[in-house]
């Protein structure tokens, strides 16, 4: 499979060629320009979606830590119990973040492969 290289310069050159079409209607020229921008737009959307999924997973992990910390406390928790739950939550969130940081190299590899192939799921 041939690889695709996304290049803003190529997109703008393509769009400029569309504008050189003096026989086409405004709508035809606009559709041509949109077709030129489509690969880059798809790539940007793919990257934004991947980053959003990563942030969502990290947030879910932090919320899970918060729930587990709350579960450790009763209705009349002492200061010591509150401190213990707080320390648990902080460690849990740090562990979650560290686990997610470990995922980044693989995530970046997958994104690069998608960009290189021009295949966005």
Instruction: Give pLDDT tens digits for 17-26.
Output: 999 988 989 9
Within a domain: residue 83? Answer: yes
Domains in the chain, number: 1
Within a domain: residue 94? Answer: yes
Q: pTM higher than 0.85 for the full model?
A: no
Q: Give pLDDT tens digits for 29-53.
A: 999 999 999 988 888 899 999 999 9
User: Residue 34 contacts by C-beta under 8 Å, 6 or more apart in sequence?
Assistant: none
Within a domain: residue 27? Answer: yes
Domain residues for the domain of 91 are 8-117
Within a domain: residue 93? Answer: yes
Within a domain: residue 1? Answer: no
Within a domain: residue 2? Answer: no
User: Residue 24 contacts by C-beta under 8 Å, 6 or more apart in sequence?
Assistant: 18, 32
CA distance 31 to 24: 10
Within a domain: residue 3? Answer: no
């Amino acid at each position: 499979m041939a690889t695709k290289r996304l290049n803003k310069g190529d997109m703008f050159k393509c769009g400029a060629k569309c504008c050189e079409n003096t026989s086409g209607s405004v709508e035809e020229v606009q559709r041509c320009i949109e077709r030129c921008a489509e690969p880059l737009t798809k790539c940007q959307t793919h990257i934004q979606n991947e980053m959003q999924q990563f942030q969502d997973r990290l947030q879910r992990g932090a919320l899970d830590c918060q729930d587990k910390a709350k579960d450790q406390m009763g209705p009349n928790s002492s200061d010591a119990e509150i401190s213990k739950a707080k320390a648990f939550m902080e460690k849990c969130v740090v562990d979650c973040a560290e686990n997610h940081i470990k995922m980044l190299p693989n995530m970046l590899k997958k994104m690069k492969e998608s960009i290189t192939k021009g295949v966005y799921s």
